[in-house]
Structure 1
Amino acid sequence: MKKQFYRVKQLADQTFSRSGKAEGLTDELQTADRKVEHLRNALQLVSKRLSTGAGSTQGQDPAAREKRLKKLPEYLLGLSMLEASNFDDDDSILKYILYECGKTEKLLANEIAEHELKVEQLVCAPLTSISDQDLPAIMKTKKQLSRLMSEKETAASRYHHLERQKEENPTKFNAAREELEDVGIRVEAARDALAADMFALVAKEAQLAHTLLQYIKLQRAYHESALHSLQDTVPELERFINDSSTKPVFGYPLEEHLRVTSRTIAFPIELCVCTLHELALNEEGLFRIAGGSSKVRRMKLSLDAGLFNVPLPRDYRDMHVVASVLKCYLRELPEPILTYRLYETFVNASRQPTEQTRLNALWEAIHLLPEANFQNLRYLIKFLSALTQNQSTNKMTPSNLAIVIAPNLLWAADESTFDMNITTAVNCIVELLIKHADWFFKDDLSFFISFTKEDLLPDQCEYGFTPNFVHGYNQTAALSQDAANGDYSSMSKSMFDYNHQS
């Protein structure tokens, strides 16, 4: 009976292991894999036709001309583009570009000219780079992940076998456990590497669309008689790409991101703030402790590829990873939220002699910000203020938060030299904004704007997360009382030191 029980358990373990292997790709990676397949299929169809030549159609009778016309690479490419655009992804900008470019190619095929050299340099080369480098790299990483999954299955089987004999042979059992843990780490690293490769390729979708559009531009240059139709087509496609929300968000101008996504708060800011507000108000050292670099990179690339969406995937439940991604987004903006234009204004505001005059100067400075910057700053500061209300638990006082957040909100256009006084001044600015958030930004706001808490965390109750944020608490002292204004004893040590330095 005992042997039969162990046999049944072994079969169950093997079945579970095979199931786990089939689940090597998460939903997020399966979506990315489908997009990569769409890209691969499009590249295969388009690249094959780009290298197909056709003879001259001049001097031919209409029937022969029509027959030869249909052999021209431009005509065949148009058909292939239309075929390549026939995939189920309404959010894809490549789909629309392929469709419109395909129609244009069929029109331009009637007046073909010699432009093979430029096509090879400006169109074929970038497409070949993806086909010969990006796609093979993804296939190689896929094979590596599959191999590691098999190793993990073998290690798990060995571990379960030795588990029944751990009393008799603890050394082998411990070795098997360590082997299983090690291969598990390598599987996760391989999965992250595959995710990064696929996200990086999917993020090139806009670049690929631009490459295809460049081919249309080359044809326009060589077909003067078709210029009239192309003058309408090309600007329309450029506008569609520029207005599409399917493009990277890191390192992209804030106002442009808000424009193409029709948002008031940048998506990475809203996503990270809502997540941290619901799950991490008591997390000790939030924003001070860095998240794992592989997970941070993966989350950033997922956002850039347009694949990250609510609900929050289980792979990103480490709050320090989310906090690090938020800091990266702010730091990688082409211009800080507080802007280069107002850099000196903010620094001078921090040098005012009393706290009240500093606050008044900061009030004026933040109201000089562009509307997009003001709204996103208000959103961030309100959250940071809420975070400090739990400072007894998370150890993040306004001063501590300012030290780690300030460098991501304001920096000089020329950062070639380091000035400790400037650093302290910037910290002072952010600390004042956090401490007196309810004075600077009097209106209440909801952190959930484009999605709800239920959208973000549908399983929150299952995981035992409960909100611990006490609403209505006001950190700001009565600013109208002269006794509090300019009183160094009421400031943090960093602000006190800064005032004495200046």
Structure 2
Amino acid sequence: LDPKNLLPKEWKALTIDLNGHQLSCTVSYLQQNLSQLDELSGAPRGIFGVPISIVTYRDHSRIPLLVRHCAEDVERRGLKEVGIYRVSGIATDVQVLKAAFDSNVKEAVTKLKDNDIHVVAGTLKLYLRELPEPLLTHELIPSFVSAAAQEDPAEKDNQMVSLLHQLPEANLNTFIYMMKHLKTVSAHEEVNKMSLHNLATVFGPSMLRTRHRGFPLDVSQEVVAQVQVIYYFLSRERLALFERELGRGSVTAAT
């Protein structure tokens, strides 16, 4: 179609030559937003419980807007809150904010400042926990756990970098963003009491959620392994090391 024919809203008569035949028709451009197209295609609505690749596509962003705006709000208002991310917000308020994001992300962002900061933090945690696939993916989680258990530091670094490189782009961008955000939170540990290990304990189970309980051996060992992986990345002096070795411009853009 000629793009010029898509600009006017009025119906326009066209005659199209088709190998000696002529097709007479009238056309008009009808704009549809992504939510309407989602309904037609059967794609899931909202953002909670929706694959992260679909959410970032809708948001026209390298990471979900919910993640970015909730994290930024925590950095504005919550860095000096004792137990930020560990203290739970009021459950009903978290559900209200969740519903707002599922309905209209841009409007929900304007409501963040009206919520208790623990509610904002709880909404971000809930989003990560309700992803249909964990941020580090079901396929790669066993490899991340195995790599984190390596005793040779050089081999551990090599394997961890290689595994990050295998993550889908939206997962990788969001993971790196979250690691940098959590390091910012831990920089105020003297006030908020949230060490790197505390933050790894909070986020490990959601970012490395497994399909079946009992991995690697039982629930307690599973949690230890999850925390170990997140703590490894949080404890690196510079995440830029991974960005350089990955050679992925999208990571830098996201952070």
Does 2:151 align with 1:353?
A: yes
For each residue in 1:259-294, what CA deviation from the matched residue of structure 2 results, as whole angstroms up to 9, or x when unmatched?
233221112111111111222122211111000111
Distance 1:340 1:247 in 2: 23
Are 1:428 and 2:225 matched, yes or no? Answer: no
Confirm whether residue 366 of structure 1 aligns to residue 132 of structure 2.
no
Cα deviation, residue 357, structure 1: 3.1
Distance 2:199 2:111 in 1: 25
Write out per-residue CA displacement over residues 334-390 of structure 1, whole angstroms, 9 at most, x where no aligned residue.
000100110211011111014443233211111111111111111111111111111
Q: Does the 8 Å CA contact 2:125/2:203 hold for their aligned counterparts?
A: yes
Confirm or deny: 8 A CA contact 1:283 1:394 kept in the other structure: yes
Letter in 2 for 1:288: R
Amino acid across the alignment from 2:46:
P
Q: Distance in 1 between matches of 2:110 and 2:75?
A: 15
State the 1:445 CA deviation. 6.3
User: How large is the Cα RMSD of the aligned pairs?
Assistant: 2.6
Residue 313 of structure 1 deviates from its aligned partner by: 4.6
Q: Which has the higher contact order (CA 8 A, sep 6+)?
A: 2
Superposition TM-score, scaled by structure 2 size: 0.75
In our comparison, the structure showing a higher alpha carbon Rg is 1
Partners of 1:414 and 1:93 lie apart in 2 by 33
Inter-partner Cα distance in structure 1 for 2:122 and 2:50: 18
Within the candidate set 78, 83, 88, 1:280 is matched to 78
The one-letter code of the counterpart of 2:110 is P
Relative to structure 1, the CA distance from residue 429 to residue 314 in structure 2 (aligned partners, 3 Å threshold; closer, same or farther) is closer
| TM-score normalized with structure 1 length | 0.39
* Alpha-carbon offset, residue 446 of structure 1: 7.2
Q: Which residue in 1 is equivalent to 2:104? A: 306
Contact 1:258 1:265 in 2 (8 A): yes
Partner of residue 48, structure 1: none
8 Å Cα contact 1:347/1:422 also seen in 2: no
2:177 alignment partner, SS class: helix
1:378 aligns with 2:173: no
CA contact (8 A) 1:359 1:432 kept: no
* Distance verdict in 2 for CA 1:370–1:258, change over 3 Å: same
| Mapping 1:234-383, distance limit 5 Å | 238-239=40-41, 242=43, 247-306=45-104, 308-316=107-115, 318-383=116-181
The alignment covers a number of residue pairs equal to 213
Decide whether the 8 Å contact of 1:247 with 1:306 is kept in 2. Answer: no
Q: % of aligned pairs identical? A: 27
Runs of 4+ in 1 over 4 A off after TM superposition: 90-94, 442-447
Of the candidates 426, 440, 449, which is equivalent to residue 242 of structure 2?
440
- Structure 1 residues 402-441: Cα deviation after superposition (integer angstroms, max 9, x where no partner): 0111111012112377432222111111001111152334
Q: CA contact under 8 A between 2:136 and 2:167: conserved in structure 1?
A: yes
Report the CA distance shift for 1:342/1:446 in structure 2 as closer, same or farther (over 3 A).
Answer: closer
Aligned to 2:11: none
Q: Identify if the C-alpha distance between structure 1 residues 377 and 446 changes in structure 2 by more than 3 Å, giving closer, same or farther.
A: closer
**Counterpart Cα distance in 2 of 1:92 and 1:445:** 24
After superposition, the C-alpha distances for 1:86-122 in whole angstroms (9 at most, x for unaligned) are xxxx96956xx9xxxxxxxxxxxxxxxxxxxxxxxxx
How far apart are the structure 2 equivalents of 1:391 and 1:297? Answer: 28
Q: CA shift at 1:312, angstroms?
A: 4.1
Secondary structure of the corresponding residue to residue 311 of structure 1? helix
- Relative distance call for 1:271 and 1:422 in structure 2 (3 A) is same
C-alpha separation in 1, matches of 2:137 and 2:183: 21
Structure ranking higher in strand proportion: 2
Q: Could you say if the C-alpha distance between residues 441 and 387 of structure 1 is closer, same or farther in structure 2, counting changes exceeding 3 Å?
A: farther
- Does the CA-based 8 Å contact 2:34-2:58 persist in structure 1? no
Matches within 5 A, 1:58-457: 238-239=40-41, 242=43, 247-306=45-104, 308-316=107-115, 318-415=116-213, 418-436=218-236, 437-438=238-239, 439-441=241-243
Q: Could you report, residue by residue, the CA deviation over 1:29-86 in whole angstroms, capped at 9, with x for unpaired residues? A: xxxxxxxxxxxxxxxxxxxxxxxxxxxxxxxxxxxxxxxxxxxxxxxxxxxxxxxxxx
Q: Return 5+ residue gaps in structure 1 as ranges.
A: 1-89, 98-205, 211-237, 448-502
DSSP-derived class of the 1:357 partner? helix
CA separation of 1:303 and 1:310: change in aligned 2, threshold 3 A: closer
Whichever residue aligns with residue 176 of structure 2, its letter is R
Retained in 2: the 8 A contact 1:291–1:324? Answer: yes
State how 1:479-490 maps to structure 2 within 5 Å.
none
Match of 2:23 in 1: none
Measured against aligned partners, the alpha-carbon deviations of 1:238-264 in whole angstroms (never above 9, x if no partner) come to 24x74xxx9310000111112233221
Matched-pair contact (CA < 8 Å) for 2:63–2:254: no
Secondary structure (helix, strand or coil) at the match of 2:80 reads coil
Q: Deviations over 1:147-176 (max 9, x none)?
A: xxxxxxxxxxxxxxxxxxxxxxxxxxxxxx
